[in-house]
Structures are given as C-alpha cells and as structure tokens.
Structure 1
Amino acid sequence: MPASSCHKALFIILLFFVPEMLSAQQFKPGFIIGGNICEIEGLPTGSYFGHHLTKFGFLVGASVRTEVHKKINMELQLRYIQLGMRKPMNPHWNDYTSWNLTLDYLQIPVFANIMVYEDFSISPGLSYGRLFGLRYKDPFLIMAETLRDIRSFKKNDVSALLYVNYSITPVVLAFVGASHSLMPINTDAEERILSPFRFNRGFYNLSFQFGVRLHLM
C-alpha cells in the first residue's frame, strides 16, 4: 500500500475518533504493559540452521478511551515499543556468529474495542510510529552488505493491528495480537535486494504482542 494511502487512512480514523472523544461525557485513562516477539519481514538473513530469527521487545504506554456505543469504545494510546530482529549464536551447529538489530518506536495507535462475547473483545486499529532510536550489533559483519547504510530506515511507520482481549476483572484486560507495517520501513530495500523467486517489496515490521491493559474506572 502506498505511503500516501496509509497516512490518509490513519487521518480518516483520527478525524472520526477525535470529535467523538471531544464530545464524550467521560474520559477513562489506562496503562499498557507487555512485550512482543518481532522480526523484520523481507530481511534476507540467509539460512541459519536451528535458529529462530526473532527477538523479544518491551511494550509500555498510556491510553484514554471513550464509549461510542454500548458494545464499542474507541481507544487512543501513546506507547513505546521495541522492534527489530536478531540472530543468536548456536554452538550446537558450530556457529559462533551473531547480530542484533533493535528499533525503538514511539507509537500512537487508534483502536475500536468491540465486545463480541461476555468478557471477550477484539480491537482492530491503525498505528502511526516514529523511529527515534536504533541499535545495531554485528561484530562479524554478517549483515553489513544488507544493512550497510543503517540510516536508510524510515523515520515514519504506519501499521495495522488486531488484538483479542479478555477481561480478567473490570480493570485488568489481557491481550494478544499482531501488527504489520503497511509500507516498507527501509527506503532503499527494493534497490538493494533482488529476489529470484518473487518481487521483493522491501522490509516490514512484524510483531506478535501480548500483555495487560489497566483500564481505570
């Protein structure tokens, strides 16, 4: 999806959400804490036997929500999330090389929390992310050719999200879900990486997330 279309879709949702919040009689704050298992889809990592090229990252933030229907409330979050990818050593395969790429994002997700059955709800939404930090460790220069210009990562990211939630108590909500970038996060991925099997669309953040939301009454 083109970047302009992603930004337009996010703007339309914000245009709907903000007036609803401003006209609401009650704002309900909350907090988010959790983690995510993430990787960079499309990053050519080669063949590493016995490796899962994913990494763990933290997720923490605050939220505000308002009811727009008996079974629907809109939620706006401001949160910090760690994304990226890593390759650990694997002595079992006589592999003592490793690399680690961490991307720090400040995200502003917008959700529609929809009650579907008793204590279960789903939360589809869109998120705007701003890359503000990047840490890269590659002592063996394994990924040097692929990521030789680390500054080529885009500062802005728009992603689609979908969560499944379970209300443990009226205040504590457990969630699991996933997010995926809607546009490439690397500006020159298409120019540098050629795939013999399919058109390479670039690099995308892929994240499976979990944690709890504290919805204050």
Structure 2
Amino acid sequence: MKKWYAILLLLSALKVSAQEISFIPEVGLGLSNITNSDNNSKVRPGFNIGMGMEVIWNERVGMGIGVNYLVLGNRFTTDYISYTTKLDYVSIPVYAKGYVYKGLFVFAGPQFGFNVVRDDGRDYDELSDLDKMRKFDFSIGVGIGYQWDFGLQLSASHNLGLIDVWKKYPDEWSSSGKKYNSIFQFNVGWRIGF
C-alpha cells in the first residue's frame, strides 16, 4: 500500500511542475531483424503493445516513459532449412519528446529490454542453446509522430540495440561479428489526459 502512495505522490509532484500528464495505450506493427546475421536472414514481422505516460512541460517539450511488449528476432530461410528466431522483450523506453509544428513531434532516448521469450525454432542442441543469449537488451530509439487534438496518435520509430544479443556464440558464428536487435515500429495510440 505504501508503494501506491509513493506513486501517487510522485504523479502529484509531476503534475505540479508539468502543464499536462497523459497516458497513451498503443499497439502496432514491428519489423525486426538481427544485425550481422547471415544473408539468408529475413525480417520477422510482429506486433507490439504497451502503455506510455507523457509529461508535457510546455508547448514544445515533453518526456515519455512506457512499458511495452515487443516481438523481436528474425527469420532464416534457405533451400534446406527454415526457422524463426523469437526474441520477445518487455521494454521500458524513456524518451525526450519535442513538438516541432502543431501536433508533429520527434522523440529519442534509451530503451531497456528484458527478454521473456527465447526460441530459435531448431532442434539441434548446440544451435538452440539459448542460455548463450543475453536476457537484457539496451537500445537507442528515434522516431517521429503526430498527435491530433482529439486523442489519436500515430508514430514511426527505429530502435537499434547496443548490446550483443549473444553472450557466447555457437562455434560456426564466431567470425560473423556482434549481433544486435533492430526494429522498425509503426504504432497507433490514444492519448488520455488527466
């Protein structure tokens, strides 16, 4: 119960220093891949869903923080084999937000990801040893969007991971370089002010 009081106190303090605080539930399409993968690596389409909170200090500057579920990974296809690497994360983005013209805004900042699904779709013991994969991801995101006065918000962004997905590579991958998550997102949300 004390935690809820602390959260309410924090929100009240933010409200005093901010012009507006809004919650933004959103859903969208994600197109992810893993950098430095084989030429046969393809984009894995997926969804993302989350809840964000935006604090606006003046008509030009704000900050956003959220909790999202992201479907990441890639697809791999050759004449002999086909599988999908599934790396899903619960992520916490923290973005600085700038309104450049009317409802048009840009945003950028870090995103902290916690892996919740790890499945490479293969049965081979060495290749599917997912304990070799990291459970934490850190990325930088940049994006652009538009906010309508009645509440609708559309955005497009790109997040590029800065931490290697693998702690230890399978032997046949050791020379291919570090591998990072990469995702393009297209989201639709609805701003709920209070």
Please report the TM-score for the alignment, with normalisation by the length of structure 2. 0.82
Q: What is the aligned partner in structure 2 of residue 23 from structure 1? A: 14
- Residue 53 (structure 2) pairs with residue 64 (structure 1): yes
Question: What letter is aligned with 2:140?
Answer: A
- Residue 118 (structure 2) pairs with residue 127 (structure 1): no
Question: What letter is aligned with 1:85?
Answer: N
Give, in angstroms, the shift of residue 203 of structure 1.
1.2
Rounded to whole Å, the distance in 1 between the matches of 2:42 and 2:14 is 46
Q: Deviations over 1:179-198 (max 9, x none)?
A: 01112121124985114xxx
Q: Deviations over 1:81-109 (max 9, x none)?
A: 110001247xxxxx253111111100010
- Residue 186 (structure 2) pairs with residue 216 (structure 1): no
Deviates further, 186-195 or 110-119: 186-195
Give, in angstroms, the shift of residue 174 of structure 1.
0.6
1:160 to 127, 136, 140: 140
> Structure 2: where are the runs of 5+ without partners?
1-9
- Alpha carbons of 1:128 and 1:53: their partners in 2 closer, same or farther (altered >3 Å)? same
- Alpha carbons of 1:176 and 1:134: their partners in 2 closer, same or farther (altered >3 Å)? same
Please report the TM-score for the alignment, with normalisation by the length of structure 1. 0.74
Q: Deviations over 1:47-86 (max 9, x none)?
A: 44xxx61111110011111112321111110110110001
> Structure 1: where are the runs of 5+ without partners?
1-18, 90-94
Counting matched residue pairs gives 180
Q: What is the aligned partner in structure 2 of residue 10 from structure 1? A: none
1:34 to 19, 28, 32: 28
Question: What letter is aligned with 2:154?
Answer: A
Give me the CA root mean square deviation: 2.4
2:89 to 105, 110, 125: 105
Give, in angstroms, the shift of residue 30 of structure 1.
1.5
Are 1:21 and 1:66, in contact at CA under 8 Å, matched by a contact in 2?
no
- How do 1:47-196 and structure 2 match up within 5 A? 47-48=39-40, 53-88=42-77, 95=79, 97-138=81-122, 147-189=127-169, 192-195=173-176
